[in-house]
């Protein structure tokens, strides 16, 4: 194989690697302000969308400034086993963190559980505990770095004791459609490869 052919093959391999290279995905913050403004405060069972994610509320309660924040936050409706399920149209994503707090300082410790799924299979769950009437940001532990297509959030509500959650932070997971280099970037790699090949031919 002559030099030009070897160089062409190397540049083709470089281009193929570039096309498959992961892009840096920015975190997406789900703050529930959109669904709160649309639905208002109160019990809610239904579907909403935010930043490309689908939020499926099942017997949940949208609260406004009931604890340490004036913004909308989410609780489980009293006397139910309500959950919030987050999906992204079949695309993969990852869980980064959630803000969680108790309704009153004198409440016992209460839990929030986030379980991640890929298809029908559970990938694991993170459970976070607090007794503080102030938001604490809890970062993923067992779910850290995992690719999910569904995240199910279950927040404790036991009698008069309950908690509220807000600011669920997600990101695009490796293998998802948005993890590939955009077409313009791939085009730039192709131009650079062809330019290098032409320069070598002129030198020969």
Residue 71 corresponds to which tokens in the numbers above? 């913004």
Quick check: 88 and 106 in contact, CB under 8 A? Answer: no
Per-residue confidence (pLDDT) for residue 110, from 0 to 100: 87
Per-residue confidence (pLDDT) for residue 30, from 0 to 100: 95
Given phi > 0 = left and psi -120 to 50 = alpha, else beta, which region is 42? left
Per-residue confidence (pLDDT) for residue 23, from 0 to 100: 44
Sign of the CA dihedral 133, 142, 49, 177? positive
Backbone phi and psi for residue 17, each to the nearest 5 degrees, phi listed first: -65, -40
Per-residue confidence (pLDDT) for residue 14, from 0 to 100: 36
What's the pLDDT tens digit per position in 70-123?
Answer: 689 999 998 889 999 999 999 999 999 999 998 776 667 889 999 999 999 999
Collect the ranges in the chain with pLDDT lower than 70: 1-25, 66-70, 105-107, 158-161, 173-204
Per-residue confidence (pLDDT) for residue 47, from 0 to 100: 97
Backbone phi and psi for residue 202, each to the nearest 5 degrees, phi listed first: -65, -40
DSSP for the chain reads --HHHHHHHHHHHHHHHHHHPBPPPPPEEE--HHHHHHH-SEEEEEEEEETTEEEEEEEEEEEESSSS-SSEEEEEPTTS--EEEEE-TT--EEEEEEEEEESSTTSPPEEEEEEEEETTEEEEEEEEEE--SS-EEEE-STTTT--BSEEEEEE-EETTEEEEEEEEEEEEPTTSGGGBPPHHHHHHHHHHHHHHHHHHHHH-
Per-residue confidence (pLDDT) for residue 64, from 0 to 100: 86
d(CA 145, CA 148): 9
Burial, 72: exposed, middle or buried (Cβ in 10 Å; 0-12, 13-18, 19+)? buried
């Amino acid at each position: 194989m002559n030099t030009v052919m070897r160089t062409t093959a190397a540049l083709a391999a470089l281009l193929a690697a570039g096309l498959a290279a992961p892009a840096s995905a920015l975190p997406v913050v789900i703050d529930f302000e959109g669904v709160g403004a649309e639905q208002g405060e109160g019990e809610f069972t239904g579907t909403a969308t935010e930043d490309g994610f689908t939020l499926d509320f099942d017997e949940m309660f949208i609260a406004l400034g009931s604890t340490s924040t004036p913004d909308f936050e989410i609780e489980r409706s009293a006397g139910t086993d309500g959950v919030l399920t987050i999906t992204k149209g079949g695309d993969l994503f990852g869980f980064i963190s959630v803000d969680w707090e108790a309704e009153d300082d004198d409440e016992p410790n209460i839990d929030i559980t986030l379980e991640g799924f890929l298809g029908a299979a559970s990938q694991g769950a993170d459970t976070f505990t607090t007794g503080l009437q102030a938001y604490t940001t809890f970062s993923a532990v067992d779910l850290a770095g995992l690719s999910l297509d569904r995240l199910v959030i279950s927040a404790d509500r036991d009698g008069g004791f309950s908690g509220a959650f807000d600011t669920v932070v997600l990101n695009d997971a490796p293998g998802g459609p948005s993890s590939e280099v955009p077409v313009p970037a791939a085009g730039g790699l192709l131009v650079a490869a062809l330019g290098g090949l032409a320069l070598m031919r002129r030198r020969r």
